[in-house]
């Protein structure tokens, strides 16, 4: 019997260790700037530029600036719209692809000084900055790295198609960024759409200390990878620093054990799928149910929801849009402002909500104290009914917030059990709700282009010295920005054909290499530019195989799930 006590003690220690991991690990953690940004949950985007006057998504320079007079602009009203749906920040597009600047910069004549608005004395960036300060909103600015007038168009990241102009354009862009970061108060988010190949690290370090950075090698937040407004699940906040430094990492690179922290931002237009106002686009306004579905899949999966507003040519956000933003804010409040019960600040693997009597429940919101990293890796939610625990939901990532929903159940207790963690779980809160009127939640998902689609075929005699050059027109296959995959597959599996080289071309211009990733017999495309009727998208590939290849094969395509 003398061995029984040590053995039982060993078993007890094992059980304790399984439920409460004692060894803390070094996890990626948010900076104060990232944490403050993330806690906002909802942000309003504002797209407004010469494309608004043209009824297009990109400026074609057909607008006479002397005719541009959005004399009804009231940026206080824009801020009220942002607040109506619960946004804590506005990201304003100060310069889009065409290069028009909404502030009186000395770097170009294509700016607000040459419009009729306020007789050329206006400064829209200054006005939105003042309004944000007045209404207690933070301000982010979008400065497109490219500029069509310099031959740095879509997908260029600021690279000019004429190398002799690169140095001059670098100076112009650096000055524009410096002006925006030094003349308009504290900027809390800087948007480099599609990445930025111009070295601006020193400017950001000097003048954007309070900001998070969207894309570029200095990125501290990530594009989710689509413009539908949803984060895939699981949605991890961390990733490997090598992936983050590419400047174009998305949710696909998420890794719970990664050494870098960069949360996800889900940008989505109110009009499906247009970023700029046009009379016809108002008919594409998303419904409240659709927007709530987006909210659940962005903020409800631990990301930040970035919803776009777009003023008309008078500078006014259309009345129907104003109403829709307010309706969305009211619906979020209706659903989540009156919880049944909540428990907070629990350190360990289990949290329990107990009711005084059997209670109908259909939503559980779990929040993690992610300031110490994303520790929770898997969890179960159970309800106590019929004298036993019954599983209601199983999940993986939690992060800032995870909204779980299910059909109505009547329970006397709710239990959250962390079944896998990287360190002692820190449960910020566990909250139960019973919410009525949620028809959109149980609709079947319809994600376009999720299945493989045939593109092209090759025959063995098409290879020359083991190489085959092939161009594929993807224009009709990519209707919206997102991430896509090309698969190369021989008909005979005993032969191996790989992708030796791949380039993506937008409208006759080669896109940055960062937008294309080769993985043996597959190509991953990171398409960030908006698709219009004038857009052409060509993938140029070189396939490689043994000289004696005797197999035909096919090339397929899909939108990454």
Going by C-alpha positions, the residue among 267, 306, 371 that lies closest to residue 27 is 371
Q: What angle do CA 257, 260, 261 make, to 5 degrees?
A: 95
Which contiguous run of DSSP H or E holds residue 138?
strand 138-143
Query: How far apart are alpha carbons 404 and 199 in whole angstroms?
Result: 42
Say how far residue 359 (Cα) sits from the centre of its chain.
Answer: 37
Query: How far apart are alpha carbons 360 and 263 in whole angstroms?
Result: 34
527 near 248, Cβ under 8 Å? no
pTM (global) more than 0.75: yes
Mapped onto helix, strand or coil, the DSSP state of residue 541 is strand
Predicted pLDDT at 515: 86
Predicted pLDDT at 326: 98
12 φ, ψ (degrees, to nearest 5) = -60, -45
Report the b/e string of 181-220 with b at 16+ CB within 10 A.
beebeebbbbbbbbbbbbebeebbeebbeebbbbbbbbbb
Predicted pLDDT at 15: 42
Q: Which two tokens stand for residue 184?
A: 């308009």
Query: How far apart are alpha carbons 404 and 71 in whole angstroms?
Result: 46
Going by C-alpha positions, the residue among 276, 300, 309 that lies closest to residue 44 is 309
Q: Supply the DSSP string of 380-445, one letter for each residue.
A: EEEEEETTEEEEEEEES--TT-EEEEEEEEEEEEEEEEEEEESSS-EEEEEEEE-----GGGGSPP
Tens-digit pLDDT string for the chain (561 aa): 334 434 433 334 344 444 444 456 899 999 999 999 999 999 999 999 999 999 999 999 999 999 999 999 999 999 999 999 999 999 999 999 999 999 999 999 999 999 999 999 999 999 999 999 999 999 999 999 999 999 998 889 999 999 999 999 999 999 999 999 999 999 999 999 999 999 999 999 999 999 999 999 999 999 999 999 999 999 999 999 999 999 999 999 999 999 999 999 999 999 999 999 999 999 999 999 999 999 999 999 999 999 999 999 999 999 999 999 999 999 999 999 999 999 999 999 999 999 999 999 999 999 999 999 999 999 999 999 999 999 999 999 999 999 999 999 999 999 999 999 999 999 999 999 999 999 899 886 655 445 888 888 888 888 888 888 999 998 888 888 888 999 998 888 878 889 999 998 888 888 888 889 888 888 888 866 776 777 788 999 999 887 666 778 889 988 886
Q: Which two tokens stand for residue 251?
A: 């949710």
Burial of 517 (C-beta count, 10 Å sphere; 0-12/13-18/19+): middle
Predicted pLDDT at 301: 98
Going by C-alpha positions, the residue among 142, 168, 196, 154 that lies closest to residue 56 is 154
Query: How far apart are alpha carbons 201 and 245 in whole angstroms?
Result: 12
45 near 307, Cβ under 8 Å? yes
191 near 180, Cβ under 8 Å? no
Q: Which two tokens stand for residue 438?
A: 């949620």
Between β-strands 89-95 and 138-143, what pairing exists: parallel, antiparallel or unpaired? Answer: parallel
If one counts every other C-beta atom within 10 angstroms of the C-beta of residue 334, the result is: 12
Which contiguous run of DSSP H or E holds residue 292?
helix 288-297
Domains of the chain as residue ranges with CATH: 40-336 (3.20.20.80), 341-433 (2.60.120.260), 453-559 (2.60.40.740)
556 near 454, Cβ under 8 Å? yes
484 near 559, Cβ under 8 Å? yes
266 φ, ψ (degrees, to nearest 5) = -105, 95
123 near 169, Cβ under 8 Å? no
145 near 97, Cβ under 8 Å? no
76 φ, ψ (degrees, to nearest 5) = -60, -40
If one counts every other C-beta atom within 10 angstroms of the C-beta of residue 374, the result is: 29
Predicted pLDDT at 12: 41
Going by C-alpha positions, the residue among 331, 316, 270, 418 that lies closest to residue 86 is 331
Going by C-alpha positions, the residue among 188, 181, 185 that lies closest to residue 211 is 188
Residue with structure tokens 């000097």? 206
Predicted pLDDT at 549: 67
Predicted pLDDT at 561: 66
Q: Is the dihedral of CA 46, 47, 53, 55 positive or negative?
A: negative
Going by C-alpha positions, the residue among 420, 339, 340, 415 that lies closest to residue 383 is 415
If one counts every other C-beta atom within 10 angstroms of the C-beta of residue 235, the result is: 23
Predicted pLDDT at 31: 98
Predicted pLDDT at 7: 40
Q: Is the dihedral of CA 83, 397, 430, 358 positive or negative?
A: positive
Predicted pLDDT at 531: 66
Query: How far apart are alpha carbons 135 and 82 in whole angstroms?
Result: 10
């Amino acid at each position: 019997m003398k061995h029984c006590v040590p053995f039982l003690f060993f078993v007890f220690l094992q059980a304790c260790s399984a439920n409460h991991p004692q060894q803390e690990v070094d996890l990626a953690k948010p900076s104060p700037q990232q944490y403050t940004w993330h806690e906002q949950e909802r942000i309003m985007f504002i797209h407004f530029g010469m494309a608004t006057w043209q009824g297009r998504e990109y400026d074609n320079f057909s607008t006479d600036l002397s005719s541009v007079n959005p004399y009804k602009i009231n940026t206080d009203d824009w801020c009220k719209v942002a607040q109506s749906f619960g946004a804590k920040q506005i990201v304003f597009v100060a310069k889009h692809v065409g290069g028009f600047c909404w502030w009186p910069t000395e770097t170009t004549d294509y700016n607000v000084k040459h419009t009729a608005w306020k007789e050329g004395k206006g400064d829209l960036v200054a006005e939105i900055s003042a309004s944000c300060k007045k209404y207690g909103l933070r301000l982010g600015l979008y400065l497109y790295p490219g500029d069509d007038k310099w031959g740095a168009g879509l997908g260029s990241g600021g690279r000019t198609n004429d190398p002799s102009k690169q140095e001059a354009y670098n100076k112009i862009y650096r000055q524009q960024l410096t002006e925006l970061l030094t003349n308009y108060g504290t900027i809390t988010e800087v948007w480099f759409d599609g990445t930025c190949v111009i070295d601006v690290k020193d400017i950001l370090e000097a003048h954007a200390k309070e900001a998070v950075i969207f894309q570029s090698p200095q990125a501290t937040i990530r594009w989710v990878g689509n413009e539908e407004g949803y984060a895939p699940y699981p949605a991890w906040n961390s990733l490997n620093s090598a992936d983050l430094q590419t400047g174009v990492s998305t949710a696909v690179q998420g890794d719970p054990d990664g050494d870098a922290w960069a949360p996800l931002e889900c940008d989505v237009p109110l009009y499906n799928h247009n970023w700029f106002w046009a009379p016809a686009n108002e008919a594409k306004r998303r419904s409240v149910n659709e927007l709530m579905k987006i909210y659940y899949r962005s903020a409800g999966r631990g990301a930040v929801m970035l919803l776009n507003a777009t003023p008309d040519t008078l500078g006014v956000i259309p009345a129907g849009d104003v109403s829709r933003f307010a309706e969305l804010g009211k619906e979020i409040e209706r659903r989540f402002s009156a919880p049944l019960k909540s428990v907070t600040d629990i350190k360990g693997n289990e949290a329990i909500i107990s009711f005084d009597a059997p209670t109908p429940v259909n939503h559980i919101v779990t929040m993690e104290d992610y300031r110490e990293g994303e520790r929770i890796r898997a969890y179960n939610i159970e309800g106590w009914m019929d004298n036993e625990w019954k599983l209601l939901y199983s999940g993986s990532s939690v992060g800032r917030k995870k909204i779980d929903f299910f059909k109505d159940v009547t329970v006397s207790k709710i239990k959250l059990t962390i079944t896998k963690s990287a360190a002692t779980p820190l449960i910020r809160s566990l909250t139960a709700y019973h919410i009525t009127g949620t028809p959109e939640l149980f609709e079947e998902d319809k994600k376009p282009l999720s299945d493989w689609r045939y593109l092209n075929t090759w025959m063995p005699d098409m290879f020359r010295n083991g190489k085959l050059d092939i161009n594929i027109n993807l224009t009709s296959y990519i209707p919206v920005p997102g991430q896509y995959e090309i698969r190369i597959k021989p008909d005979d599996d005993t032969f191996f054909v790989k992708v030796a080289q791949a380039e993506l071309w937008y409208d006759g211009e080669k896109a940055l290499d960062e937008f294309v990733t080769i993985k043996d017999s597959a190509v991953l495309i990171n398409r960030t530019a908006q698709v219009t009727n004038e857009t052409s998208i060509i993938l140029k590939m070189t396939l490689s195989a043994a000289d004696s290849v005797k197999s035909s094969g096919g090339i397929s395509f899909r939108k990454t799930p």
